[in-house]
C-alpha cells in the first residue's frame, strides 16, 4: 500500500529524479534518493511544510533538487526506474536514508550535521541527514 499518493505522472517524475540524482550510486543509491523524496512529501515539517505531492517535492524552489535543472532529468523513465519509484512509494526504506530529508555529495568526509540535522550515514558518495523526532515527528 502506498505511503504517499502518486499519479502515473508522479511515479514517472520520481523515477526520473532518482535516476538523475544517483544513477552512479547504483540501484540502492537511487532507492535512497527515492526515500528522501517520499519523506519530504510525508514530512510537513522544516523546509517541507506544505509539500503534499511528489510533483511539489520534485520542483520545490528553493530547496529542491539540482537534477531538475539538467537535461538528464528530462530523459524518459525506463521500466526499471519506474519499478524503483513504486517500491519507495509503497513504503520500502533503506538505511541510511530511512528517515532522511536531505542528502548531498561532499568533497571529503560527511559532516556530523547539516543544517542542524544529524548525519545518519553515507552510501558511496552521498551523505544522508535525518531530522530529529522533535523537529519532524511524522518521519
Domain of residue 21, CATH code: 1.10.10.2520
pLDDT for the residue numbered 102: 96
Position 39 in a domain:
yes
Q: What is the pLDDT of residue 20?
A: 97
Task: Give the side-chain half-sphere CA count within 13 A for 90.
Answer: 7
Grid cell digits, residue 87? 517500491
134 within a domain of the structure (yes/no)? no
Identify the pLDDT of residue 139.
Answer: 82
Within a domain: 139: no
Nearest to 122 by CA among 139, 98, 99, 97: 97
Q: What pLDDT is attached to residue 16?
A: 98
**What is the pTM assigned to this prediction?**
0.96
Is residue 138, in this structure, part of any structural domain at all?
no
Q: Please tell me the predicted confidence (pLDDT) of residue 138.
A: 84
Domain membership flag for residue 137: no
Counting the structural domains of the chain, the total is 1
Look at residue 1 in the predicted model and tell me its pLDDT: 82
Q: Which of 88, 13, 21 is nearest to 54 (CA)?
A: 13
Measure the CA–CA gap between 102 and 64, rounded to whole angstroms. Answer: 10
User: Residue 96 has what pLDDT?
Assistant: 98
pLDDT at 31: 98
Listed as ranges, residues in the chain with pLDDT below 50 are none
| Domain boundaries, position 45 | 8-129
Would 122 be classed as within a structural domain?
yes
Give the per-residue pLDDT at 32: 98
Question: Does residue 136 fall inside a structural domain?
Answer: no
Amino acid at each position: 500500500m502506498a505511503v504517499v499518493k502518486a499519479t502515473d505522472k508522479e511515479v514517472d517524475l520520481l523515477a526520473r529524479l532518482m535516476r538523475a540524482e544517483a544513477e552512479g550510486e547504483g540501484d540502492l543509491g537511487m532507492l535512497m534518493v527515492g526515500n528522501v523524496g517520499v519523506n519530504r512529501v510525508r514530512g510537513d515539517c522544516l523546509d517541507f511544510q506544505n509539500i503534499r505531492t511528489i510533483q511539489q517535492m520534485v520542483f520545490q524552489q528553493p530547496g529542491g533538487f539540482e537534477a531538475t535543472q539538467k537535461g538528464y532529468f528530462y530523459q524518459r523513465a525506463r521500466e526499471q526506474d519506474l519499478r524503483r519509484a513504486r517500491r519507495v512509494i509503497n513504503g520500502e526504506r533503506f538505511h541510511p536514508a530511512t528517515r532522511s530529508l536531505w542528502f548531498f555529495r561532499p568533497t571529503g568526509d560527511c559532516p556530523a550535521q547539516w543544517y542542524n540535522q544529524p548525519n545518519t550515514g553515507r552510501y558511496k558518495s552521498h551523505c544522508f541527514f535525518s531530522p530529529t523526532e522533535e523537529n519532524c515527528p511524522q518521519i
